[in-house]
Structure 1
Amino acid sequence: MEEKVQQPASKEELKRRAFMKQAAGLGVLGIAAAGGIWAAKGFKPEKGRLRPPGAVPEDQYLSMCIKCGQCLQVCPYDSIKLEDIDGKAGVGTAYIDPLARGCYLCEAFPCVLACPTGALNHEANVIDKVHMGMVIIVNESACIALENKKVTREMIGRIYDHTKVITNAERLARKVNIYDNDEEKVKLQKELLQKLSAEEGKICSLCADMCPYPAPEQAIGMVSKNGGLFPEIRDACVGCGACVEVCPTKVLQILPYATYAEVYEKNKGSKNA
């Protein structure tokens, strides 16, 4: 019987494999295919994952997200990740780690529009219908604004280091230029870095100044406290996590799905405590 000779993969096949690997988050995640959904048995959701904009309630989300990675593919800020096998928070499901990259509330929310199942509610494609969670202050004494400290290049550099679309030279220089031939995704992320760099040398108010909410002063602002400044979380906050990403000292954290009323209005006397 003649032995079949395996032909080398075509360019199209190699592209398909690369896409599947990326969508699979290093090759260990669940992948949705036309014939069904791979499920990781024995792993229970870990509480506290921040989901992309428009995510339905967690239990419902875990059953509806088919781990396809389409939201990840269209995210212009590289904010969305797919859960790997160590996270145990719905292996393969989409989430956001705001310490690595917050959500910047893109116009029209392409991640929502790309979701094929409604795990990201298709009606939540405008800011008024998006609510991801609520910012809380977990490390007040670490806030450098309280001591009127200025933003340094090192603080900004952390964000340059985890921005994927820029060159190593730009990363080292802590400076980017926007070119006419840059892709839209690249332009958006470079604009973010330029806005961040403009804060260097100023008294830190990064959390408020970098807030992507359309009217940021309605979501977060700096108020006087103990001779310095301190962030005040306001009721328009949608929990996007951008402030968590840019904070130099991890003062802030997101409670996924939480609301302003749940976090602050019940304890007005200890607000921001």
Structure 2
Amino acid sequence: MTPEEKKRRKFIQQISGLGVLGLATVGGILGGPYLKAADLRLRPPGAIPEDEFIGLCIKCGQCLQVCPYDTIKLEDIDGKAGVGMAYIEPRERGCYLCKAFPCILACPSGALDHEHDSIEFVHMGIAIIHNPDACLAKIGEPVPDSAINRIYDHTKVLTDEEYESHKVTIRSDDPEKVELHKTLLKKLEQHRGEKICTICADMCPFHPDNSLAIGMINIKDGRMLPEIREACNGCGACVELCPTDVIKVIPRKSYSDIYSRKEV
């Protein structure tokens, strides 16, 4: 064993008693190759290039703490990336592109670039239609109650009664975070039982004009299908909200990567 290897082993032994936080710290120090996920994770808005992100993310959880929609997760001990590293699992909760981007502003290390805290700079990835034959708008089936109820299960700020009834009321004394969640659910409720599902296009949070990111196109006999457009920044909201898992996000890719070079 070389002196450098002995030094590294001694260092790891010294921090092994620190548990998850110790392992997360080692991740930040030892760097990228040891911590890369087998599948590229979707990172929060403002994330710098992946290798640099892995080196700079200090696993502090500040982005998670300030996320109004509880979108951001931290890798756990069983994950394939560094323990405590920030990521998004869009099928469980997409990013709703808060106008102030508090996650970026809260990042103390530069893993989320403070210069990229506005919508024109947020490029998390690109959505693609990967399962078109399951699209309700294409096959002509209405939106089932289960599709709406599933999103209630993703929402952590409701009362037991609201969870059980699948009905929310915005109150004057609701904290801002609660109001945001309820506003999302009330908008989604408008699609309950809808004969032609347009949830992905109508609920896209890209601002100020979500039609630049996604829209519905007619295909045949009144049937429709989502179309991903150039402004899509891969926030994953459509992935979460889609009743039948028709859309997925490819992290770190752009519209030109997917649609010009035919990469999927």
TM-score surpassing 0.5? yes
Alignment of 1:21-40 (within 5 A): 29-30=20-21, 37-39=25-27
Q: 1:240 aligns with which of 235, 243, 247?
A: 235
Alignment of 1:141-220 (within 5 A): 141-202=133-194, 203-214=196-207, 215-220=209-214
2:43 matched to which residue of 1?
51
Letter in 1 for 2:203: M
Instruction: Provide the secondary structure at the position in 2 that maps to 1:123.
Output: helix
Q: Report the alpha carbon displacement of residue 31 of structure 1 after superposing the two structures with TM.
A: 6.3
1:265 matched to which residue of 2?
260
Which consecutive segments of 4 or more residues in structure 1 shift more than 6 A?
none
Q: What RMSD in Å do the two structures reach over aligned CA positions?
A: 2.0
Letter in 2 for 1:234: R
TM-score by length of 1: 0.83
Q: Report the alpha carbon displacement of residue 91 of structure 1 after superposing the two structures with TM.
A: 2.1
Letter in 1 for 2:101: F
Tell me whether 1:77 sits opposite 2:65 in the alignment.
Answer: no
Q: Distance in 2 between matches of 1:186 and 1:123?
A: 28
Q: 1:88 aligns with which of 55, 80, 100?
A: 80
- Do the aligned partners of residues 126 and 78 (structure 1) sit closer, same or farther apart at CA in structure 2, a change above 3 Å counting? same
Q: Distance in 2 between matches of 1:31 and 1:111?
A: 23
Q: Report the alpha carbon displacement of residue 79 of structure 1 after superposing the two structures with TM.
A: 0.2
- Do the aligned partners of residues 141 and 71 (structure 1) sit closer, same or farther apart at CA in structure 2, a change above 3 Å counting? same
Q: Report the alpha carbon displacement of residue 199 of structure 1 after superposing the two structures with TM.
A: 1.1
Letter in 1 for 2:215: G
| 1:126-176 deviation per Cα after TM superposition (whole angstroms, max 9, x unaligned) | 101111000011111111110222212211000001200011211111110
Instruction: Provide the secondary structure at the position in 1 that maps to 2:114.
Output: coil
Q: Distance in 2 between matches of 1:59 and 1:47?
A: 14
- Do the aligned partners of residues 29 and 134 (structure 1) sit closer, same or farther apart at CA in structure 2, a change above 3 Å counting? farther
Q: Distance in 1 between matches of 2:218 and 2:240?
A: 23
Gaps of 5+ in 2: 1-17
- Do the aligned partners of residues 188 and 31 (structure 1) sit closer, same or farther apart at CA in structure 2, a change above 3 Å counting? farther
Q: Distance in 1 between matches of 2:163 and 2:146?
A: 12
Letter in 2 for 1:151: V
2:97 matched to which residue of 1?
105
Tell me whether 1:223 sits opposite 2:213 in the alignment.
Answer: no
Q: Report the alpha carbon displacement of residue 29 of structure 1 after superposing the two structures with TM.
A: 4.1
TM-score by length of 2: 0.86
Letter in 1 for 2:206: Y
Q: Report the alpha carbon displacement of residue 45 of structure 1 after superposing the two structures with TM.
A: 2.4
% identity of equivalent residues: 54
Q: Distance in 2 between matches of 1:166 and 1:28?
A: 33
- Note if contact 1:224-1:230 (Cα within 8 Å) is conserved in structure 2: yes
| 1:156-213 deviation per Cα after TM superposition (whole angstroms, max 9, x unaligned) | 0000012000112111111100111111000001000000001112211111111000
Q: Distance in 2 between matches of 1:31 and 1:157?
A: 39
User: Would you tell me which structure has more helix in proportion to its own residues?
Assistant: 2
Q: Distance in 1 between matches of 2:92 and 2:189?
A: 18
- Do the aligned partners of residues 96 and 176 (structure 1) sit closer, same or farther apart at CA in structure 2, a change above 3 Å counting? same
Q: Distance in 2 between matches of 1:226 and 1:58?
A: 41
**Count of residues paired in the alignment:** 240
